[in-house]
Chains A and B, each alone.
Chain A
């Protein structure tokens, strides 16, 4: 306000009249009521805590009027902003700048970034070079994810929603890192109650000669949802992009990570069980088990008797989740061919043709002194395309 004058109309020799008092008091009221300003108070005259900042109003910091605080009612945003041009914003601890948002909106931090409530022992920089854990076969009922940290029995998985690690000794427990095929998974839905468990997705039963897909899913319901955990869930839905919305619906967006595929059953008429495997970090899965009646490893796609010296189609391969097919999330696979130990088939051949009947590969000749049925051509890698024809014939081609 302007300076208070309290005009004096009287003198020592005159009487003080009411009008004089009225004039002075009126001026005092006028200038005090709503007109006090910076000129009238001493520094520190009141505390900030006694001040409430009006919402939807700029509160300017600095004489240049370019930076301000703002509460935006329409969006409930608390805003720290500059007018027109971004300036540097410094965050200091003990007078040392530890974080800076510069004029190009780059954020520089003198140390690391941690994920609060998301396995804080793993800062952002430790995730450089992160490798998703591989699935490990334990027995026909059990698989688990490997330890991929330097802490014993701890597995770290980076979900889109943040990194989560669980520490569990699979020798004594199988809630998080280890799944049992005879258990039903629990905890992947907010509606779940009780202790978390890894296993088959609710409602899923295993069918013979079918592929299944293992997902790590953030525990979102039940007793173990209060802290950061994940479980392993076996699903019949493969992780191809067309299924992402289905998986989001089942597990929540950003709450699942695909780990790997399982095969239940060696092939038609063969044992119905989980096929042993080893998986490596490059995404390859090798089957290390065989059906009891076979002497080669892996899944039997087809068994056929070659009866003609003319080339004929034995099998048409297309991506699929069951039977003699390879799931669509596998980009390519290795195929072997087992000739019978004696007879014309031994001198026959197998070839692969694409959908236009163009020859892609022909099985090289094999030994003539075979005494057992043996797998050959293991190193043949085939692309998992819509239609591949496997053809064969007896006798030399």
Chain B
């Protein structure tokens, strides 16, 4: 503005003329009716913001440097706080010392938080500090329960919680039975959520079942905070992801591990093989169902004077297959007596050994029944061989455990 300075042109002790008053009047009208008032007219600190009118869309409230602005962008309906020069600081000041409690760094775009960062407080089953999750979250490990049932261990004080791509979900039913159909993961499901076999999947002897945590999307517990355990014959390998997305919904499933139904020993073919998963995703089978012949799942057995061989078969379409989720396996070999060597070698040549392990001295024929194990990578075009002499004996090759690449 303009400083108000009314030209009077008056003579002392005389009446102002009409013209003089007209001049002053016109000046005042011009002064006040044109938007001339500015900071020169306002006392410093004399006015509160509430007396000012709203800032219109696309009109910035700015600092004198014009680097810091607060603005509503009408076209995009975005509230924008912008600093074109430096950092954005949310802090506390004591005296002249400013302490940053939260800062957006202008050079990197990084957000620094003085306390903890908690996300998804309105989504999923619980609020959780992201730091806590990153530091200590462990996917609930599968636990053997009975011949029909697998469950999970609790990983929080609230129960078993699974981290999905967009939220944490509590496992509503931790009892996953191969004798029960799951409920809550398929369109049309109603009622209480139940863990079990996936829709359309039936229990078959000597097969692998891949366990998924699936968000409850239908029925009573479809509140966005629960999941169930679903057993499926489809593995989580990349080639199957599209199928799993179709079955369960993209981002709605998390792979938990694989269980085995049946030892393939001719007797115990339709029960869950007892197992233990460790914290690294390594599953080990706990029992030998044929006495003295090795822990785990039978891949091959014979009574013969010739070597027993098992060619690696990856899949889930036959009894003696190994799941593709395995990256390295513990295999066991057994001979009834007389000693042997267990070989892991390429199929194409008997001289292409990866390992000849755990030999049992054959210099003097022994009556002991040796069982030896070694750990090798799972490779197609390879085979396991129980190398013996020419005395007919029982022989067996078992899968005793493996590292699950996808847990």
Give the B-binding residues of A (Cβ under 8 A): 1, 15-19, 21-22, 25, 28-29, 32-38, 41-55, 61, 71-73, 75-86, 89, 101-102, 104-113, 116-117, 123-129, 146-147, 150-152, 161, 278, 280-282, 284, 286, 288, 290, 295-297, 336, 365-369, 372, 374-379
Contact = CB atoms under 8 A, between A and B. Distances in A.
A29 B6 contact: yes
B46 A76 contact: no
Interface string B3-28: 11110101111111000000010000
A86 B115 CA distance: 12
Interface residues of B, number: 114
B245 interface: yes
A33 B3 contact: yes
7 contacts: A1-B46, A19-B12, A83-B93, A107-B102, A107-B115, A150-B241, A296-B353
Given A52-B62, A71-B67, A109-B120, 20 more contacts: A29-B3, A32-B41, A34-B43, A44-B52, A54-B63, A72-B98, A76-B85, A78-B68, A78-B86, A78-B89, A79-B91, A81-B98, A83-B94, A109-B118, A109-B121, A110-B123, A128-B134, A282-B403, A365-B361, A378-B354
A110 B102 contact: no
Nearest to B91: A81
Contacts of B62: 52-53
Closest 7 pairs (CB-CB, A-B): A76-B86, A37-B46, A49-B59, A18-B10, A105-B114, A106-B115, A44-B53
A104 B115 contact: yes
A382 to B, nearest CB: 15
Contact of B163 (A37, A125, A147, A374): A125
Contact of A369 (B281, B351, B389): B389
Contacts of A82: 91-93
Most chain B Cβ neighbours within 10 Å, of A85, A146, A374: A374
Interface string B303-341: 000000000000000000000000110000000000101
Nearest to B242: A152
Contacts of A15: 15
A90 to B, nearest CB: 12
A101 B102 contact: yes
B356 A376 contact: yes
A161 B107 CA distance: 12
Interface in B326-383: 327-328, 339, 341, 343, 350-357, 359, 361-363, 374-377, 379
Most chain B Cβ neighbours within 10 Å, of A51, A77, A89: A77
Given A44-B53, A109-B119, A125 B130 contact: yes
B67 A77 contact: no
Contact of A16 (B3, B4, B16, B81): B16
Interface of B: 3-6, 8, 10-16, 24, 37, 40-43, 46-56, 59-65, 67-68, 81, 83, 85-94, 98, 101-102, 106, 108-109, 111, 113-123, 127, 130, 133-134, 137, 139, 163-168, 238, 241-242, 244-245, 250-251, 280-281, 327-328, 339, 341, 343, 350-357, 359, 361-363, 374-377, 379, 389, 403, 405
A48 B57 CA distance: 11
B92 A18 contact: no
Most chain B Cβ neighbours within 10 Å, of A1, A76, A102, A124: A76
Contacts of A49: 55-56, 59-61
A29 B40 CA distance: 12
Contacts of A22: 8, 10
A15 B15 CA distance: 7
Contact of B245 (A108, A127, A150): A150
B71 to A, nearest CB: 9
A53 B14 contact: no
A108 B87 CA distance: 21
Nearest to B6: A25
Contacts of B5: 29
B52 A51 contact: yes
B108 to A, nearest CB: 7
Given A36-B43, A80-B89, A366 B359 contact: yes
